[in-house]
Amino acid sequence: MRGLVRLSGGVGADWRRGRLLLGGRLGLRGARGWTDGESWSDLGGRIWLGGSVVGGPRLVLVGEAGRQGGQPSRWDRYRLGGQASNLHPDPGLDGRVSAAYLPLGAGEGEEFSRLRAVLGLGGVNLFGERLQAWTGSHRPDPIHAAGLEIESSMPAIPLAQLPATRLVLGVAHVFDEPLEGKWRGYLGLVYRP
């Protein structure tokens, strides 16, 4: 049996001068959960900074971290890897810290951190990422990756009963264990009814 009470919020600001756009967002979340009679907590945050030139390139920097307390079960702990899910897009809900180029469970722990930089133009994005999950004072080496994603989005079309969709085709090079030196390809489809 599992229960979860969650509270989240955020603030953001945008600034525009001529063709230059700058923005920032800060999000915080907190949750209290119960799994098979054991209670646990989850606290996390995300910071997003971005800049772009209208009709030109954009740069986005994202930092994200989370910490759990109490007695989270193996299924409640943070797990690095796997595709983002329509059902649980937030690590505070199912523990998944999505990274499509890694298998689910490539790293696991009661704490995680993520740093990601994206340089994009149109639907083509170059990215670099650093992920880490750990429990207690033992911190394994982080997983570093760099890659290319091609993204296409389509808004919902209510008259045709078509949901909003986002298609991502990507390839990434993983620099550290568990897939050190490997290239990984992936395809993801996210739809929002």
pLDDT tens for each residue of 61-113? 999 999 999 999 888 899 999 887 665 555 555 788 999 999 988 999 999 99
Q: pLDDT averaged over the chain?
A: 91
Q: Which residues have CB under 8 Å from 138's CB, separation 6+? A: none
Quote the tokens at residue 101.
């180029």
Which run of H or E residues covers position 79? strand 78-80
The highest-confidence range among 81-85, 124-128, 158-162, by mean pLDDT, is: 124-128
Could you give the CA distance from residue 172 to residue 87 in angstroms, rounded to a whole number? 25
- Predicted local confidence at residue 187, as pLDDT: 93
- Predicted local confidence at residue 13, as pLDDT: 97
Quote the tokens at residue 95.
């523990």
